[in-house]
Structure 1
Amino acid sequence: MSSTESNAPKLGENDPIKVLFDMASYWATIWGFIALCLWLEHEVLNRLDIEPGSIQVVILLVSTPAIFLVTVTRIEKNPKARLILERARYVVVLVAAALLGAYLHANHKDESYESALRDGAVLACAKIAACKAAATDYANTR
């Protein structure tokens, strides 16, 4: 009779990668929720025509922790909400990774030797008529 269990090794609870991921997802979820609360409250205050300044900052400093604590208390009491939060942690990590990747891509300055060679080759090819024509022909046929 064949076993239905997987032969893959199982990760222990003390696996450093799992622990690191759990900690990162936990804190990313907390800070993401706090940022979402702040943004929503800021939008509500702007729609109520409360001018930005010290009054708005005081309101945000008081209401954000209160909303956070009330929400955490309710999530702890509701098993379905806890399950949703556990699953949302993975989405938060994926969104954070995507945002970090987009930021790094937008701000990447490639100053490597290979990049300088490539740029030099492009500039040289642009000055040589036959090379430019071949590159244009190649680009048009792709």
Structure 2
Amino acid sequence: MTALFTLLPEAVAIVPAGSKPEILELLAGTFAKVYGLDHEDVRGGLRDREDLGSTGFGRGVAIPHARLGSVGRPLAAFLKLQSPVDFDAADGMPVDLVFGLLSPEAAGSTHLHALAAISRMMRDEHMHQMLTQATEPEALFGVLCNVIDRDAA
């Protein structure tokens, strides 16, 4: 079995952000730069999905996601915020871990499976703790890849 999405090391960062719109902007910029996508297209897709309801997952985690015609396979990006930001999460807690996902428009169940895998990963207490404690993008990427590779096996 292969991974449900692609996550490149360059798509993992620790960033400052002060608001939900700024987080979506940073996430769109990361997807555009790392995967060669159109920044405006990505930002619009993430905002449109967020307008339907917050992707604030709870426990300090948000999973902004969108389906875009310009995407050929599911792609991921991960941002750890330098300080928590209000994201209108269901539990009311501010967010400091942001796992973004973009999938092809016609991804259907593939998109849902990738979201479910990210959700499981973010619900895992040990994983959450390791991500919270990591202080470098390389360490974050290592933690994420260990779980992604394990779950794909």
TM-score by length of 2: 0.24
TM-score by length of 1: 0.25
* Higher percent of residues as strand: 2
User: Which is helix-richer, 1 or 2?
Assistant: 1
Bigger RCO (CA 8 Å, 6+ sep): 2
Max Rg structure: 1
